[in-house]
Amino acid sequence: MKIQTYNPRDWRSHPPYSFKTYGSSVKRGPLKKLVPLEQTLSEITGPLFGDIQLAPGETDITRNAETGKEAMGERIIVVGRVLDEDDKPVANTLIEIWQANAAGRYHHPVDQHNAPLDPNFIGAGRCVTNDKGEYRYLTIKPGAYPWLNHANAWRPAHIHLSLFGPSFVTRLVTQFFFPGDPLIPLDPIFNSVPTKSGRERLMASYAHDVTEPEFALGYRFNIVLRGRQATPFEGPQ
């Protein structure tokens, strides 16, 4: 049996474990050199959620708090494609989504920011990509919020995304940002990405073709997961 391995993590695209200006990263990342592991059956397999049954409301985060009412804030439609490094679509892959409400507050007991909670907004959703790797969901544009990393620190508006891809090694948790947000250049989490081109890959773009008249603005955010290596590797017999 040949096993089809995946490209390595591109460390020019991903942040380092420890990034000084993001204070809580300093004590929470490995300091020793990572041990190289040649991928085996354990790494090239992984959980697939392609047949997951999503509840009807999961792609509409403006109405899935099950109160029968709509969340407050600026409605947005978020679309995009999930691709691998060879631009092949990653089909039937689960995307988990979470975010703050329009006032910049999370539906979470740890969030003590003095901004209103919205009873009609939880801020979580899920979707699965189609055969072309496309996804789409409706939500509220999240607000900026303060945090304690440094004096007068504010996170720019962002939405968290979690993806699995086809294997254990293609796992990705990321977040994307909105164009024109003046807080972005000040954000240590955004700035932890070592290259300018990498940081640009965390930006959604305004998508007028997705915007629906009299309803909501559209944004596009494409995601690239690790691709398969060109030559199959001689694996377990």
Residues 1-60 that bind another protein (CB under 8 A): 1, 3-4, 8-10, 13-17, 19, 22, 24-32, 34-48
- Please report how many Cα atoms fall inside a 13 Å half-sphere around the Cα of residue 182, on the Cβ side: 0
DSSP three-state, residue 184:
helix
CB atoms within 10 A of CB 104: 18
- Smallest separation (angstroms) from another protein to the CB of 236: 3
What distance in Å separates the CA atoms of residue 80 and residue 89, rounded to the nearest whole number? 11
Of 217 and 224, which has the nearer Cβ to another protein? 224
Q: Is 123 in the site for another protein (CB under 8 A)?
A: yes
Applying CB under 8 A, which of residues 70, 111, 134, 181 lies at the interface with another protein?
111
Of 10 and 74, which has the nearer Cβ to another protein? 10
Asked if 158 is an active-site residue, the reply is yes
Asked if 160 is an active-site residue, the reply is yes
Question: Encoding tokens for residue 44?
Answer: 């090239």
Return the H-helix or E-strand segment holding 200: helix 196-200
What distance in Å separates the CA atoms of residue 151 and residue 186, rounded to the nearest whole number? 12
Question: Encoding tokens for residue 157?
Answer: 């508006």
Asked if 219 is an active-site residue, the reply is no
- Smallest separation (angstroms) from another protein to the CB of 61: 10
Asked if 106 is an active-site residue, the reply is yes
Distances in whole angstroms, Cα of residue 185 to Cα of each of 22, 99, 143, 200:
14, 20, 17, 11
Asked if 145 is an active-site residue, the reply is yes
Size of the site for another protein (CB under 8 A): 83
- Smallest separation (angstroms) from another protein to the CB of 214: 30
Of 181 and 235, which has the nearer Cβ to another protein? 235
Distances in whole angstroms, Cα of residue 119 to Cα of each of 64, 72, 102, 156, 158:
11, 9, 12, 23, 20
Of 216 and 226, which has the nearer Cβ to another protein? 226
Q: Of the listed 6, 81, 105, 106, which one is catalytic?
A: 106
Q: Give the single-character DSSP code of 205.
A: E
Which residues belong to the active site?
106, 145, 155, 158, 160
